[in-house]
A = this chain, B = another copy of it.
Amino acid sequence: MRRVIAGDWGTSRLRVTVIEDGVPVARHEGTGIAFLPGSAADALRAILDDLDLHQPPDAILLCGMVGSRNGWLEVPYTPCPVARELWRAQSGRTSLDGVPVTIAAGAAFDGDDLADVMRGEETQIFGALVIDPRLKSGRHRLVLPGTHSKWATVEDGRIVAIRTFVTGELFELIRSHSTLLRVGDAISRDDENAGFDAGLQRADAGLPLASLFTARVAQLRQARSSDWAAGYTSGLLIGSEVREALTLEATGECTLIGAPTLTRRYAQALARRDVASAQLDGDACGLAGLQLLDGRDDG
């Protein structure tokens, strides 16, 4: 039996999966790279102890900010176009108590005025190409919503363009720190969905900055709840992201990769602009991608 530890180690969260002969058998959540009390190696060692594996794993496979300059080992970004074999070859190597550790390379797009990067999402993208092999040929638009939402163009299996929207981060900043949502009292879940629809609709005008204050005014003047305002803000930001991304490059179909609660909202925003979408689970894509890094030297 071959047992590997696969970890998506981002800024704010670590998700570890134990995989035995390709089958996930256990999961564990840990602390993100930005919040570690000590070294990444110590944090991972503690998690391995918790998992009580009886014997060391055969390999540890990691992606995400663990490969940044503030992570465990800085692994350079692979410039677009990023082919799978090039990306595998450029992953970083280290070890933990004798166990080989592979850390995925990020991907960089330096091709035009809007340079861009990703770390972790490239692994999910290559995993998506394993899960849905139709994505391996032709030109496809893959969207990975989140704190930093990534739009990638994949052509014949290579990542050729990257565009980041800080939609999730903006929403969290507004929710946690702004006066826009703190006017009324929370009421109902339905209200939030109605707000989301209203925000999506407002996004059509292409005036996102002129439309944010509506979240506050709707509570002051139109008896909306703060739930509605939060939904409105989310709908406005997601709808505006989708609008801008499609302005940058039109597309008839997208593949959404992420948590189903979030990809459903993006699917709704895309449908509003007549773009069809398929949804793939982000964790499953991440695991498939990390396993591509296993036995790098063999292949």
Contact = CB atoms under 8 A, between A and B. Distances in A.
Interface of A: 11, 77, 108, 110, 114-117, 148, 163-167, 169-170, 173-174, 176-180, 206-214, 217-218, 220-222, 237, 240-241, 244-245, 247-248
B207 A117 contact: no
Contacts of A108: 221
A164 B213 contact: yes
A180 B114 CA distance: 15
13 contacts: A77-B221, A114-B211, A114-B214, A115-B222, A116-B213, A148-B213, A165-B212, A166-B180, A166-B209, A207-B248, A208-B209, A209-B237, A210-B248
When all copies of this chain in the complex are counted, the total is 2
Contacts of A178: 166, 169, 173
B212 A166 contact: yes
A147 B208 CA distance: 17
A221 B179 contact: no
Given A173-B178, A214-B115, A218-B115, A167 B209 contact: yes
Given A114-B214, A210-B244, 16 more contacts: A114-B211, A115-B217, A116-B213, A117-B220, A165-B213, A166-B180, A166-B209, A167-B209, A170-B170, A170-B209, A170-B212, A173-B177, A173-B178, A177-B177, A206-B206, A209-B237
Contacts of A218: 115
Contacts of A177: 173, 176-177
A213 B241 CA distance: 12
The 3 closest A-B pairs by CB, nearest first: A164-B213, A173-B173, A210-B244
Contacts of A207: 244, 247-248
A173 B173 CA distance: 6
A174 to B, nearest CB: 7
Contacts of A11: 179
A209 B116 contact: no
A204 to B, nearest CB: 11
A156 B197 CA distance: 38
A5 B167 CA distance: 45
